[in-house]
Amino acid sequence: MTTIFFLSSSSSSSIFTTSKPLKPFSSKKPKKPTLHLTKSILSSTTETSSPALQTFWQWVCDKGVISNKSPSIKPGIVPQGLGLIAQRNISRNEVVLEVPKKFWINYDTVVASEIGKFCGGLKPWVAIALFLLREKSRKDSPWRSYLDILPITTNSTIHWSEEELSELQGTQLLSTTIGAKDYVQSEFLKVEEEIILPNKHMFPSITVDDFLWAFGVLRSRAFSRLRGENFVLIPLADLINHDPSITTQDSSYEIKGGGLFSRELLFSLRAPVSVKAGEQVLIQYDLQKSNAELALDYGFAELKPDRNTYTLTLQISESDPFFQDKLDIAESNGLGEIAYFDFILGNSLPPAMLPYLRLVALGGTDAFLLESIFRNSIWDFLELPVSRANEELICQAIRDTCRTALSGFGTTIEEDEKLLERENLDPRLELAVRVRAGEKKILEQIDGIFKDRELELDVLEYYQERRLKDLGLVGEQGDIIFWEPK
Ligand SMILES: C[S@@+](CC[C@H](N)C(=O)[O-])C[C@H]1O[C@@H](n2cnc3c(N)ncnc32)[C@H](O)[C@@H]1O
């Protein structure tokens, strides 16, 4: 049988612009970073502060990072590493912190620095990564106190060992993680060749692992609305941790002018819920992120079922004899040669998926619908089943895709759920199990939807019957009406 359309399961990450084939991990042990990074502050401890944190706080106060004389928050050691602790009762929506622009680290900071002249035209995150690594290597860096409280690692999957990654076997998160590491490596090789090596006197010896560390720091500490061109690190504010139970996101922070007579911008952070003295001030990082995205960016996942997503990639094959017509129709309905459909656990099929699928599978005696006279109405036709053959083909293709994807996992959902019942599970293992169980559940859900559809193939109403009905040629019971000549 010729493949008339192509379906694949693939990564949904939107940050990586290239969709090149993913390379497997190198089996080499990661090289030791040449930079001396501070001891992990993520270790479990009952202390609420540390010398590095006290030095940082002193720096924050001396420099006037926070203007208020009696601050409502103070950094402290918390179960999530470092966090912001309320110094008194804080009410909902109260501003807890305002950090002036001169203490932000963004592209402008890099441009204004000694390495600025080498960084023109770089992506903001790449320039900031170079800046962080250079400052980290300088004993007398003005950012020393801040750099010393940055974690040496997080639980983001980009920092996992190969053994830890093997727990993600079969998942889209694994492909996304490999893609992210490949992306960082290719950016590093470019910047190494074009900037670091020709200007050795300005840069420390930076390895790909150092660059990956900087990438991880930036991804885990950037506020979701301040990414891309507006990428910015905000010392102190970036100690805020995430609370899954908070469901408001946008009102927690804003950039505003510094007052009537000041032209300086401020990053202003609010408490989205009231907090008692001594408790942590927390925010919602991003309601839109899936568990896989949370795992990649921050190294944690949530329990909410709808954080589990799976992306199906559908494609009109170039070898399809109707390729051009199908592409025209897809494009005039906001889709393209390749279309990505994100499934959310427990939700119905993504909109436009069925019409696109039916379009991709269209052929044989249904191909007349691709003729130009139907161009304005074809999408409406595709919203409903076209023919038994077409509907059967899409069911088979999707179910095959689901079954193939499911066979790529190393464990069953039941085994995962048993593991999750264990106490004191390693946080990375727990994260892997949660994400892989979520992906499998969605694949089973999609398979179930198309299995049920297969059972309905004989009773569904198809294009030809609808057409005859519209023309008044079919009775209520589906019987063809004949007109006897009088
Ligand atoms: C913006 S930083 C917050 C400050 C960070 N806790 C630190 O020690 O520097 C984001 C990182 O904090 C940790 N984190 C934040 N919220 C968390 C949560 N709800 N559960 C687990 N880790 C969390 C993760 O390591 C994440 O990558």
More confident residue, 259 or 35: 259
Distance between Cα 19 and ligand 1 center (Å): 29
- Classify domain 105-233 by CATH number: 3.90.1410.10
Tell me what pLDDT residue 470 has. 79
Q: Please write the tens of the pLDDT for every residue from 366-416.
A: 999 999 999 999 999 999 999 999 999 999 999 999 999 999 999 999 999
For the chain, the average pLDDT equals 87
Query: How many angstroms separate the Cα of 114 from the Cα of each of 109, 111, 201, 424, 458?
Result: 10, 8, 11, 47, 72
In the chain, domain spans = 4-21+306-470, 28-103+235-288, 105-233
Question: Looking at ligand 1, which residue's alpha carbon is closest to its atom 7?
Answer: 82
Q: Which atom of ligand 1 is nearest to the CA of 221?
A: 1
Tell me what pLDDT residue 479 has. 65
- Classify domain 28-103+235-288 by CATH number: 3.90.1410.10
Q: Please write the tens of the pLDDT for every residue from 455-466.
A: 999 999 999 899
∠ CA 222-228-231 to the nearest 5 degrees? 45
> Residues within the annotated binding site?
221, 225, 238, 241-242, 253, 285, 298
CB within 8 Å of 480: residues ≥ 6 apart: 468, 473, 474
Q: Please write the tens of the pLDDT for every residue from 179-210.
A: 999 999 999 999 999 999 999 999 989 999 99
Closest CA to 292 of 282, 284, 301, 283: 301
Q: How far apart are CA 232 and CA 240, in angstroms?
A: 15
Q: Please write the tens of the pLDDT for every residue from 218-231.
A: 999 998 777 777 89
Position 60 pLDDT exceeds 90: yes
Distance between Cα 32 and ligand 1 center (Å): 24
CB within 8 Å of 107: residues ≥ 6 apart: 124, 127, 128, 229, 231
**Which residue of 42, 80, 287 sits with most ligand 1 atoms within 8 Å of its CB, as the best mutation to test the pocket?**
80
Query: How many angstroms separate the Cα of 413 from the Cα of each of 121, 164, 310, 382, 484?
Result: 47, 19, 15, 35, 62
Helix (H, G, I), strand (E, B) or coil at 49: coil
Name the DSSP class of 30: P
Q: Kindly state if the Cβ of 258 falls inside 6 Å of ligand 1.
A: no
Mean of pLDDT values over 77-95: 96
Mean of pLDDT values over 142-147: 96
Q: Is 285 considered catalytic here?
A: yes
Region of 424 on the Ramachandran plot (φ > 0 left; ψ -120 to 50 alpha; else beta): left
Q: Which atom of ligand 1 is nearest to the CA of 220?
A: 27
Q: Kindly state if the Cβ of 134 falls inside 6 Å of ligand 1.
A: no
Q: Please write the tens of the pLDDT for every residue from 253-300.
A: 998 886 666 668 899 999 999 999 999 999 999 999 999 999 999 999
Question: Looking at ligand 1, which residue's alpha carbon is closest to its atom 19?
Answer: 242
Q: Kindly state if the Cβ of 300 falls inside 6 Å of ligand 1.
A: yes
Position 10 pLDDT exceeds 60: no
Tell me what pLDDT residue 182 has. 98
Asked if this assembly's ipTM is beyond 0.90, the reply is: yes
**Catalytic pick among 107, 146, 183, 285:** 285
Question: Looking at ligand 1, which residue's alpha carbon is closest to its atom 26?
Answer: 298
Q: Please write the tens of the pLDDT for every residue from 151-169.
A: 999 999 999 999 999 999 9
- Classify domain 4-21+306-470 by CATH number: 3.90.1420.10
Q: Which atom of ligand 1 is nearest to the CA of 243?
A: 19
Q: Do domains 4-21+306-470 and 28-103+235-288 have the same CATH topology?
A: no
Q: How far apart are CA 447 and CA 459, in angstroms?
A: 20
Tell me what pLDDT residue 94 has. 95
Distance between Cα 202 and ligand 1 center (Å): 32
Tell me what pLDDT residue 259 has. 64
CB within 8 Å of 10: residues ≥ 6 apart: 172, 175, 311, 313, 340
